[in-house]
Structure 1
Amino acid sequence: MTALERLFSEGFRVFFLAAGLYAVIAMGVWEAWLAVQAAGGSLDLPAAPAPHLWHAHEMIFGYGGAALAGFFLTAVPNWTGAKGAPHRYIAAVWSIWLAGRLAVWMSGHVPLISVAAADLAFAPFLGAQILGQLIRKPKPQQMIFLALLAAFWIANLMVHLEWLGHTDTAWAGLRMGLVTLCCMIMVLGGRVTPGFTRNAMVQSGRETHLPQNPMPLAAVSIAAAMALPMTYLVSLPDHIIGAVAVVAGVAGLIRVALWKGVWTLGKPILWTLHLSYAINALGLLLLGLANLGLGTEIAALHVLGIGAVGGMTLAVMSRASLGHTGRPLVASRRVALAYALVPLAALTRFLGSALPGLHDPTVLIAGALWIAAFALYLVDLWHVWWGPRVPRAPIGSPP
């Protein structure tokens, strides 16, 4: 098997590579545009939407879509015992994802209906494969992800409908897409974070004071998080959106406090899960408060986009890449540094919104930290995605 054939042999390989590359490239373009604007210049992009809308759309649906595809194409066969997708399908769905990115980028020179068709084809093509596998052994806790993928697609549709001139739903669609990703973190992170931590504690010989994950509390956090995208879909008043987000955030913070995060401090591949989940919950709380008139919504949205989505996807992508290629689940120094840079980027961007006088430098610094984090991730795991599986059992279980 050639290296190229191997890259398309498993979904996590090409999509986690693509997510990392796009995280660097898309943020690099945004940084360049911001830097030119800050210097008093002007930089025209070939995209039809305003640069800030292109940036938001591509980080949510471009980067987020690639991370989701890599996760689903890897995790669903494990859940169901089904055979993984063939390499031709993986190459096809990756090509559709890439076509969407190119179409949105060149949307100033391409009919917008063609842009929408190219970009919106990705989630249904991916969802059909997932449905075909999940339907064999349907379980409610797994079918939730298919419903969330549908919500993710609807959110993207709302953006394109405004770009086509039919509705005024782009901002609601962007928010719905982001909080849908955050809902997936609430569901998935709430499952794997205490589970992986418990496994590691037991393997170390610890038998007491293990992570607790009370089901009533989990149900409240997940129900509120799943309701949040729907509040944007049906355009509920700000105070209702705020109340739902506050419930999800508070419940999430209580949950993560029960998972023995302090024990993981010497284990980056574990503490990054705890930290990313906590930032997700905190971001939802901040979003809720902002909708209730306390704080800045843009600041909260960037805590979620950078710290929660960026942090948790980086954690899961690196862990899964190691585990599914037979490598020990131990983060290298480079990847551990990347784990630390992402929440630092989130904090810096938060300050940029909270302190308007520092907006330009903090936004540029936050973008640079994000790029550095994903560059470290790419450098460290590049050989993993292109290389063969090693005959060595990983410590613990990959997602």
Structure 2
Amino acid sequence: MWRAPHLPLFLLAAVWAALAPLVWLFPALSDDPAGWHRQELILGFAGAAMGGYLLTALPHWLKLAERSASGRGPGKRAVQALVVAWIAGRVAALQPDTDLSVLTGISIFPLGLSACLLVPVLSARLWSRLPIALAPVGLLAAGLWLRMTGDGLTAALAMALLVAVVGGRIVPAFLRARAGHAAPPVTGRVADLVLALALAAHLLGMRDGVTGWLLLAAAAGQGARMLRWPLAEGLAGRPADLAMLVAAWLWLPAGLALIGLLLVAPSVLAGLSPPAGVHALTMGLMGGMIQAVMARASMRRGPGVLQAGNGHKIAFALIMLATVLRLALSASPEALAVPTLTWCLGWAVFAGCAVRSLWAPVPHPVLSAARPGAASARPARR
């Protein structure tokens, strides 16, 4: 389990994603089932997934900076300490209080993760990576805000912005790599800025109409940036690994548009409630994107390609189906157990894939296919 940071952290993310929503079916488990499950899907599920991804990407950043002395990132003991901190945070999150000891317990993992990233990044003077190294702090801020205020829309928009910034880099990068383009991908900074303005407008208590129109503009911008992606070339041959990333990304403009319309003209979407729009971002975008990225670590390797297994495809399809069912059944609270169980089943299937990968060789690179002729795995560090 300790041969690579993503092995324990991706497994924890999958298991927690499968278990946390069950509080809806067994509300006696928490004094505030809705608040606890939203908080844990951000700090617990997304936190572990973010840790696995960023610690996996860190050695690549350092290699690009030609700082080979620090190019391996944190070692086994640091990862073990992060796992213990993550577990401690889940225990602290069970407490209904917001005193200093509870908040400290919840904060240890994201702050420790950010420290593990910042030290080598600052040492290598990788200034462009500083915002990403600080992403765990942003995640912590969203989770604590949600815990103290119950404002699910702010947390969802903050997560959407995080996915837009990070996912908006990796999805076109993977597409361009598959299409054989050497140039770096085009960023969507304007679209991300509009989304940040929408989040700020909501936080400042501006009228719903202002936030709504900004979200509609952000949705248009996030959709338009895809026009500059090599979709036709990157998706040629129907590669499931890239199709999953693109399908998850589509929930970003869709979710922002849904929430924007619900704020500007709720009568247009009769039967849908604001929580339904929020779930388009949390379930479809966040859940789908996280699973699509994590799945790449355990896919079979071919020359220059990743081959998604049946377990990966089934798990992802269940997450997408759960999101659609959550939207379709939003007017029927008594039926919401259906999308909940569908989501949990999808993550249980994915957890099985993550467990199986514990005994497989660690691929190199972890999240992308090796170039034809390159070694696809490296010996485990002892």
Q: What is the aligned counterpart of 1:268 among 222, 227, 240?
A: 240
Aligned to 1:319: 296
Give the distance between the partners of 2:317 and 2:243, measured in 1 at CA.
Answer: 10
Q: What is the aligned counterpart of 1:134 among 114, 121, 124?
A: 121
The Cα shift of 1:124 comes to 1.3
CA contact (8 A) 2:364 2:370 kept: no
Residue 335 in 1 paired to residue 312 in 2? yes
The structure-2 alpha-carbon separation of the partners of 1:349 and 1:392, relative to structure 1 and needing over 3 Å to count, comes to: closer
The Cα shift of 1:392 comes to 10
Q: Which runs of 5+ in 1 are unaligned?
A: 1-6, 34-42, 163-168
The structure-2 alpha-carbon separation of the partners of 1:137 and 1:237, relative to structure 1 and needing over 3 Å to count, comes to: farther
Q: Which amino acid in 2 is paired with 1:306?
A: M
The Cα shift of 1:112 comes to 4.5
CA contact (8 A) 1:342 1:370 kept: yes
The Cα shift of 1:189 comes to 2.0
Q: Which amino acid in 2 is paired with 1:83?
A: R
Deviation per residue, 1:347-374 (Å, 9 max, x gap):
1101122xx2x3322x211112212211
Q: What is the aligned counterpart of 2:208 among 227, 238, 255?
A: 238
The structure-2 alpha-carbon separation of the partners of 1:319 and 1:327, relative to structure 1 and needing over 3 Å to count, comes to: farther
The Cα shift of 1:221 comes to 1.4
Deviation per residue, 1:84-120 (Å, 9 max, x gap):
2111111111111111112222x15x78543222112
Residue 170 in 1 paired to residue 150 in 2? yes
CA contact (8 A) 2:259 2:274 kept: yes
Residue 289 in 1 paired to residue 266 in 2? no
Q: What is the aligned counterpart of 2:93 among 95, 101, 104?
A: 104
CA contact (8 A) 2:304 2:370 kept: no
CA contact (8 A) 2:299 2:309 kept: no
Q: Percent identity?
A: 24
Aligned to 2:84: 95
CA RMSD of aligned residues (A): 3.0
The Cα shift of 1:130 comes to 1.3
Q: What is the aligned counterpart of 1:199 among 170, 173, 177?
A: 177
1:111-150 matches, cutoff 5 A: 112-139=99-126, 141-150=128-137
TM-score (norm 2): 0.83
1:329 is paired with a residue whose SS is strand
Give the distance between the partners of 1:220 and 1:390, measured in 2 at CA.
Answer: 35
Residue 395 in 1 paired to residue 369 in 2? yes
Q: How many residues align?
A: 356
Aligned to 1:14: 8
Q: Which runs of 5+ in 2 are unaligned?
A: 64-70, 377-382
The Cα shift of 1:190 comes to 1.8
Aligned to 2:55: 73
CA contact (8 A) 1:127 1:149 kept: yes
CA contact (8 A) 1:256 1:278 kept: no
Residue 226 in 1 paired to residue 174 in 2? no
The structure-2 alpha-carbon separation of the partners of 1:245 and 1:138, relative to structure 1 and needing over 3 Å to count, comes to: farther
Q: Which amino acid in 2 is paired with 1:193?
A: V
Q: What is the aligned counterpart of 1:44 among 28, 32, 56?
A: 28
Aligned to 2:43: 61
